[in-house]
Amino acid sequence: MTTPEEAERRRFWLGAPVVQPDPVPWREFVRRRDGMVHAMDGGLWLHRHVWKGTPMAHLVSTDREALLAYGRAVGLPAERLQDKPLRDPRTGERRAAWHWDLVGRFLPAP
């Protein structure tokens, strides 16, 4: 049986697609390394993948404020931003980074 909280969470993630900011503040890359470098330089990197059969993406950056601004623009709650240090592919040094999990209505169209 579905609890009221679960039903509300489902409505939040599976509602109508969100309108993306114009112009979109993120970039996609063919090569993962290029996306990582872009994110390490403070850009927003959209990395698409499939998790347990569900299409999703991570929006990754070392610029936490830029990620929060994107979240505000599309209606993501700030507490959903995830802290995930990443290794800079140019230096091997681990750096502070954050990402949004984008799924359902928050996943931008390809």
Q: pLDDT tens for residues 29-56?
A: 999 999 999 999 999 999 999 989 989 9
User: For residues 21 and 15, is the Cβ–Cβ distance under 8 A?
Assistant: no
What is the arithmetic mean of pLDDT over 57-85? 96
110 within a domain of the structure (yes/no): no
Q: Is 99:58 a contact under the CB 8 Å cutoff?
A: yes
DSSP assignments along 71-100, one per residue: HHHHT--GGG-EE--EE-TTT--EE--EEE
Longest dimension (CA), the chain: 50
Residues 13-27 have pLDDT tens digits of 777 778 888 888 899
10: containing domain:
4-104
pTM of the model: 0.85
What is the tally of structural domains in the chain?
A: 1
Q: Is residue 80 part of a domain?
A: yes
Evaluate whether residue 109 is within a structural domain. no
Domain-located, residue 15: yes
